[in-house]
Amino acid sequence: MKKAGRSPRLLLVCLLVLFIADWVKPVFGIESSSTAGNAAGAVSDQPIQWKAVSDPTEESVLEAWRGGVGIPLIIMPSGVQEIKSLDSLIVVSWNTHMGGGDLDRFIQDLKEGRLTAGKPVQDFVLLLQEAFRQGSEVPASVSAGVRKGSCIRCSPPSGERMDIREITRRHSLALYYVPAMRNGETSASEAPEDRGSAILSTLAMSSFTAMELPYERQRRVAIGANISGQTSAGRPWTVQVINVHLENRARWARFFRSFGQARLRQITAVVEAFSDVGPTVLGGDFNTWFRGSKELAVRYVEESFDPLQQHLQLGTVRYGPFLPERIVDYLFFRLPEGWSADYQRIDALYGSDHYPLLGRVQIGGDQALDQ
């Protein structure tokens, strides 16, 4: 009787959280606009390998979402293309809340060691969700049949809202950005925007890949790239990084899938598509409803990646002052023998509604590199 009595309450809590997650951003987003700066280096013509859409019947609805966004963007400053010597790699995953997260300050704090016990970090990789781009690369107007996401325009505590191009320019980073959807309607006083996922890096990037996730409610795109360097002993290494942003709920006609099946379907497609042999870091906003392995998508990834030494206990998203924080963001690692990794939550939101996750990959010795 006691177990049965908890089920309606659990369902009610899930529905309440879903409602708030779906509407809190448009309601509390701070309207702001700015002009994107010039690219930090030349726009690259490197090709992107698109993984095949898993279900051809979803092609027409995905095409309706594609019509509102600009083309993917790859920027490779000349300094980033140099091979650097590193025996460990910092990888951050963060949902930056459409400009609300103060990326400029976060990067500065990372470089100055405020997030790593006083040890400065000069080289790193950022896996960003809810990144945005504005300006002429985004279609100024779209036809009536084009689908759009709700308009979310947030500003960081500093007040200066910067798109992903401007952040790249200011910090001389390599950028790989793939938009998933248009950011709402565009008024006469606002620059058009699209939003999606981005990988920013101080290190050389290559082998750019992208995949439209199985369609559940909105168009979402997982992206991947190879990060390369060498150890202090001169041995080359490459790590594949994958950035995902799963659906928070299925469309109303398939609402029951919101309890786990929708995200399981999406992450299964990602893991199968990005199954390249070699060191891999998978991170992102999983939009999970349940904690840890109780969530089907998390359980599936845990079976495909290395077991973590310790699971994150602190929440990674804040919905407001009256609701508990939940764990929805994750980092997973698949590493050769002799390598190791861990990650932690950074205990500051920087203006986002998600906390950044900071991971460190310890690169193994010669024996591990030869595998």
Rounded Cα–Cα distance for residues 222 and 164 (Å): 17
Rounded Cα–Cα distance for residues 308 and 359 (Å): 12
Q: What is the pTM of this model?
A: 0.88
Domains of the chain: 2-369 (3.60.10.10)
Q: CA neighbours within 13 Å on the CB side: how many for 161? A: 23
pLDDT in tens, 228-264: 999 999 999 999 999 999 999 999 989 999 999 999 9
Q: How far is CA 208 from CA 152, 161, 266, in A?
A: 27, 27, 20
Number of residues in the chain: 371
Residue 358 CA to its chain's centroid (Å): 13
Give the largest Cα separation in the chain, rounded.
66
Rounded Cα–Cα distance for residues 107 and 122 (Å): 10
Rounded Cα–Cα distance for residues 195 and 68 (Å): 10
User: Strand pairing partners for 224?
Assistant: 209, 242
pLDDT in tens, 277-301: 799 999 999 999 988 778 999 999 9
- With contact defined as beta carbons under 8 Å apart, do 50 and 211 qualify? yes
Rounded Cα–Cα distance for residues 200 and 174 (Å): 6
The sign of the CA dihedral 39, 41, 45, 47 is negative
Dihedrals φ, ψ of 337, to 5°?
A: -60, 135
Percentage above 90 pLDDT, the chain: 72
Rounded Cα–Cα distance for residues 168 and 360 (Å): 22
pLDDT in tens, 17-76: 444 444 343 332 322 222 223 333 456 778 999 998 668 889 999 999 999 999 999 999
- With contact defined as beta carbons under 8 Å apart, do 287 and 248 qualify? yes
pLDDT in tens, 303-347: 999 987 667 889 999 988 888 899 999 999 999 999 999 999 999
The mean predicted confidence, pLDDT, of the chain is: 87
Q: Which amino acid is at 273?
A: A
Rounded Cα–Cα distance for residues 327 and 354 (Å): 10
Dihedrals φ, ψ of 355, to 5°?
A: -85, 140
